Structure 1
Amino acid sequence: MAENARKIYTNEDVYSDKKNKKKNLSALIGAAFIMATSAIGPGFLTQTAVFTEKYMATCGFIILVSILIDIGAQMNVWRVIGVSGLRGQDIANKLLPGLGYFIAFIVALGGLAFNIGNVGGAALGLNVLFGVNIKVGAIISAAIAVLIFLYKEMGKAMDMFTKILGGLMIVVVGYVCISTNPPVAEAAYRTFVPEQIPLLPILTLVGGSVGGYITFAGGHRLIDAGITGKENVKEITKSSIFGILIASVMRVFLFLAVLGVVSKGLKLNPDNPPASAFMHAAGTVGYKFFGIVLWAAAITSVVGAAYTSVSFLRTFSDKIDKNNNKWIIGFIIVSTAILVLIGKPVKLLIIAGSLNGLILPITLGTMLLASISPKIVENYKHPKWLLLSGIVVVIISLYAGIQSLLGMKALFAGIKSLFI
């Protein structure tokens, strides 16, 4: 009888272990997709199209270098967050009291500005697909995003939403890529033997992929899923790389799709470069495909930006922490209201980009200091090569930040112009 009881317990234990592993795997993949789809927004589509038209096959080199830098940034941030079990702002506060509040403020501010632009992008996507008025499209898109956070298990709902739409974007852009018949051999060659080394586009792509809130999107999701500690470092690292690879596959497909168009001598419409590339590729159908990609890219970015931005505010108050989903919904509603009342999503995206140029060196630098601090990571040993790669990224992003500082006059003029 005792043996049977022991056997029953063992079987239940094995079942429970398998269930937990499956749950963890789903959360790890979900975190990767949240990070990736947060990066893949309207700005992502436009930047890739513009740089491909300007630099042609050499844009492959720009993308390759930006991917390597992105991986260095993400792995450092995710590992420190994962090992410590603390969100980015809490790590910063432990290192230097008050620093976390400052980081939370600038990340949330940048996230709000980006989210307004993302809501605008989602509205434009519905306009392309169904001819819906921009303001009406913004409200419809915001309502869909809000529904996710009304769900009891919002983490699972968010994971599923980003997985489905992330996969859809890759499939659609992959189809367009094949239909344009790009010069793949030349693109592969110039990826490793570029005609020039354009620094500014590399910095721009890096800022758009891991700047501001994006670096922390997946790491904070894993904390909420309870996947933390040294025992999970390998899985956390794999998830961070997977997230970058998802965004990178999308970037490469889009690059090849646009290259297939511009290599034939066709010009992109400067008012909407990615849309014109899709139209050149597949006519009216291609334009509708662009609408699908734009809406999916924008709405998933709305979800990622709202979730991550509010996760930085949870330190400020227990009320925010306990009512996390309500604050996320409020964040989306405020973003949508500003877009509907003020408009000008393009200007807001430019302003947000300038803010993000200042955020990455601060946040990543803080994480690197935390990686060697026993009071944050205890006896965990952060790999030296990873620390060095992070330092390189900080130096590169600091250069971009200085360029943003030089443009502060234009930044404040842009903010002023929003209300005139």
Structure 2
Amino acid sequence: MAALRRCVLLVHPSRPRERTYPLGLAYLAAAAKRAGALVLGCDLRIDPPAKLVELLRQHPFDYVGITALSTTLSEAAFIVQQVRRIQPASFVVVGGPHATLASRQTLQATRADAIVRGDGETPFAALLNGSLDVPGVTLRGQTPDDHVSVEPHLDRLPFADRSVFPLEAYYRRGVFGSSRRTNLIVTRGCPLSCGYCNANALSRGTFRLRSIEQVMQEVQRLRRDYHVDTLVLEDDNIGLDRDYALRLWRAFSEQNPRFRIDLPNGYHPALVDEELIDAMAAAGVRSIAFGIESLDENHRILLHRHFDLDRFLPIVAYAQRKNIVTTGYILIGIDGQSARQAIQSASSLRTLPFDMVHVSVLLDLPNQGQVVPSRTWKTVRAIMYVRIHLTPRRILRLMRLAAGSSRTDFDKPNRWC
């Protein structure tokens, strides 16, 4: 007798103002389909809550998978409650960054049946096939261990399945403006240990590359099947292997017509030079964000963010001459930084050659520090030097005053990000 086909629901919690495609769940959908499952999806950032209830009432799901950031943990817990209320027999799995870095808290907060730590494709497929003793998986009632699932051979994974969360639904709602964009990753992990980032902990310090041939196959499929014209490369450290990066940009430059490419994830200033900028411009890169984090060399040393600022800034100007829009990421609230230093740092941003500067407040996260995005400033006006105790909330108040705005459109500081 043939085995019954598993039915799976994948859910992305609501997260106001986030404008990204659920790429991680799309990879999970592809792995689940490869395992023989029927997969449906619900993205509560664009779908109404009623859709989740409707799906749960219409389909008998064997498994429900939920991704969770630290900022969406409470929403993930509420989704679990909804599943328990309507389909108490469903096996609920929570994954994502917070489950990886704070396993015990995730289990306690969500009351899920299991959590997955690290790359979720292989562990989730194993769960669908009936295995419960899976590396990287902790069941409710068990004590989480330190194992993180790391997929060593990225080319063995199927392409992200963009039909479960249809790209057209995001385009129709204008989520990405007028462009037909989607996100893409060509590498996973990061071996660096920058003091504000947990990418190293999420991948146990590994760095893995997809073959350029496979990347080009995927982007050609995206153009053919979805008419994508813009790619957002969300890699943690795409420039770490310089030779690979050069070959990647040269492969993109051979695409006709070229894609528009955005690099939003804080490119390391030490890993870029004029030859790479030339290759990026030829490939179609039109925007790049650099993770400077601090103008103070001592603070950069504290954050393990090592580079020569004087050597780097002319490269920013060179990128602009190549029609690449540049953004600089800056942190305030670094250990040992006084309120005056933080505001002086914000004030000095006007002297930098970037098109935009993004100021963030440094907060603690599991395993490593992390930042809560605050606001992108084109300029910083009327800096006020006030001697106060340095707390995230007061720093945000100073930033509002510095911007000359009484609006409260800054993210509230949270313990988790």
Mark yes or no: TM-score above 0.5.
Answer: no
Higher helix share: 1
RCO higher in 1 or 2 (8 Å CA, sep ≥ 6)?
Answer: 1
Taking structure 2 as the reference length, the TM-score comes to: 0.23
Write 1 or 2 for the structure with the bigger share of strand: 2
